[in-house]
Chain A
Amino acid sequence: MTADEKVVLHEEEIGRALTRIAHEILERNASGPTPALVGIHRRGAFLAQRLHTILEEILGAQVPLGDLDIGFYRDDVATRPDAPVVHASHIDFDVAGLTVVIVDDVLFTGRTVRAAIEALFAYGRPQRVQLSVLVDRGHRELPIRPDYVGKNLPTSGTEHVYVRLRELDGVDEVAIAESSAVGAGL
């Protein structure tokens, strides 16, 4: 962590936000089949896993879980110097007719979510698609709106939001910092 970083969400707050989102997902989908969770690589996939654990605990039933790498669906392939390395996607259940909750860490321009919706549709035709994010930092460039938000975080365009998760970074926290040269990615 660099000196000018400000931590805006600590471990216990992230845990509470995820528990609240899990309850909201159940509330919103009280009728109909159990919703499925699909996390976006890489941190969204870990958040989806955590939501999955909480949901199965509350429900006492199985909840379909998958993950997606949206690299092949990005809209900026023509502007990057190197072809991005893309990870495997795993969706082992039939999405047709299900409510699918897409899970990501930060919602920014909305371009990742657009790509995720397109990638998801390659697997079938879900009945409904919802969006859950840990942090909504604003600055949307597409007509996309989250259904479940951990924290609304007003930012300036030049700031950078860092989501760190135990599974990848050894610590659970969300921090914000003025970015020097970091380009705003998807």
Chain B
Amino acid sequence: MKHLISIEDLERADIERIVAQAERFAEISHREIKTLPTLRGRMVLNLFYESSTRTRSSFELAAKRLSADVVNFAASGSSVEKGESLKDTVLTLSAHKPDAIVLRTPWAGAADLVSGWCNAAIVNAGDGKHEHPTQALLDVYTLHQRVGSIDGSSIWIVGDVAHSRVARSNVLAFQRMGAKVTVVGPPTLIPRGIEQLGCEVRYTLDELHTADIVYALRMQNERMSEMWIPSIREYAAWYQINGRRLSPHQVLMHPGPVNRGVELSGEVVDSPQAVITAQVQAGVVVRMAVLYELLAVAREPRPVAAMAGSQLA
């Protein structure tokens, strides 16, 4: 594995290996010294074009737990505001020779583009509405801890699927692990053609009781001005997961931050069925496993010309 750009690039065995590795890292947190020397001397660059406190700090902590050096680069207040392009920023920062770049951008496909511009391993920490693969991996990990195998399980992803990179990565990851995925939401928030990913599409919660796992997506208030739904109250009336709709056998997930009273009612957030806190905790160990997978290997051989030169010297 050279980069982590999309769940599409991962086989089931890859996901299982990362989950198993994350379990090893979870054990480390019980030790007196919680830092491992594994990635000593490696540099991880966090390049964030969107504000994200949790994902960034989770990657930062994961890198530090493995003794890697971390540089945080936020687009606001930097050369980006002076008009520097993504490519120039990446090339400039590459001069510091980072071993990995963790990239969050509002542009779908940016992570893939950047992987062609530099030698670092690229970790996609969210590219526009495309994918957020580490979120999907930590969700698979959380479910593995909570219910064991999800092979054959029915998972319903409810809410604003259209604007959600989490939904796209999770549909792919859950299906790779053998689950049957259904996406549900108002027709305006279900992207056309999503069924081509292999999931089922529904527009009502009538059959919600058939699900084993309910995954609610964040309702993005900032979208309200664009009139995707009549009103937040109307949305909540039809699609909110609450105590009346959630069955006692179901596990409830949410990528956070939760809008209480919108996509989830307060009672279900606080219920023992919700694994939302476990998802946050899984973030660090799963990201450690991803960095380990990408960086605990021999560096790329240098280009042929450089090799020949060094042999002559």
Contact = CB atoms under 8 A, between A and B. Distances in A.
Nearest to B34: A122
Contacts of A89: 27
Interface in B6-34: 17, 20-21, 23-24, 27-28, 31-34
Contacts of B39: 77
A141 interface: no
A86 B17 CA distance: 10
A122 B32 contact: yes
A88 B36 contact: no
B296 A122 contact: no
Contact of A85 (B21, B33, B297): B21
Contacts of B21: 83, 85-86
A19 to B, nearest CB: 33
B235 interface: no
A155 B35 CA distance: 37
B224 to A, nearest CB: 44
Interface range on chain B (Cβ under 8 Å from partner)? 20 to 34
B297 A88 contact: no
A79 interface: yes
Contacts of B23: 88
A72 B36 contact: yes
Interface in B245-287: none
Interface in A80-94: 80-89
Nearest to B35: A122
A80 B37 contact: no
A78 interface: yes
A80 B33 CA distance: 26
Interface string A86-129: 11110000000000000000000000000000100111100000
Given A77-B38, A78-B298, A79-B298, A86 B33 contact: no
A123 B298 contact: no
Contacts of A162: none
B293 interface: yes
A130 to B, nearest CB: 21
B299 interface: yes
A151 to B, nearest CB: 32
Contact of A123 (B32, B35, B41, B296): B32
Contacts of B34: 122
Contact of B33 (A79, A83, A88, A121): A121
A100 B36 CA distance: 21
B293 A123 contact: no
Nearest to A87: B24
A120 to B, nearest CB: 10
Contacts of A124: 32
Interface of B: 17, 20-21, 23-24, 27-28, 31-39, 41, 66, 292-293, 296-299
Interface of A: 69, 72-74, 77-89, 118, 121-124
Nearest 9 pairs of A and B residues by beta carbon:
A83-B296, A122-B33, A72-B36, A72-B38, A77-B296, A122-B31, A124-B32, A86-B24, A83-B293
Given A78-B299, A85-B17, 8 more contacts: A72-B36, A73-B36, A77-B38, A77-B296, A81-B297, A83-B293, A84-B296, A86-B24
